[in-house]
Amino acid sequence: MLRERVQGLFRYFIPAEMAKYVVCGGFAFIVDASILYSLTEYLGVHYLASNTVGIVVGLFITYYLNIKWVFADRKYEFSISTEFPLFVAIVLTGYLINQVVMWLVVETVKVDLLIAKVAATAIVLAFNFTAKKFLLFTKTH
């Protein structure tokens, strides 16, 4: 009984797509942050360049999971030549936000690299979900 009530509240306050998006994003974040940390700490690559590599890998992971599992509707389902460039444009905008936040937090506030990554990711998560949901993953009428 209690379990059903909790699940009902969860579904009411956090739609299934949002929950799936967070899981998908969490997986992509683990891959992204691992690449960032490994390239920076073990190979000496500048953290902003490492961050770029991680985000590019994450882009392909999230695109695949978004179209196959996260979102029920696709506005451009039969036109990947339209859908993927829009997806990339949203991710690139999120990337720019991510880079600015990373730079500000690491260089100005002097916070640890991975803490800065978590802060930047939280901001970009909200932006990306909203943009993708309304520009790509809604029903066409």
Q: What is the pLDDT of residues 110-121, one digit of tens each?
A: 999 889 989 998
CB 91 within 8 A of CB 28: no
The whole-angstrom distance between residue 115's C-alpha and the CA centroid of its chain comes to: 16
Of residues 141 and 34, more confidently modeled = 34
Gap between the Cα atoms of 59 and 57, Å rounded:
5
pLDDT in tens, 45-100: 999 999 899 989 999 999 999 999 999 899 988 888 999 999 999 999 998 999 89
Mean pLDDT of 36-45: 96
pLDDT at 12: 57
Residue 38 pLDDT > 70: yes
Phi, psi of 76 (to 5 degrees): -120, 40
Of residues 55 and 41, more confidently modeled = 41
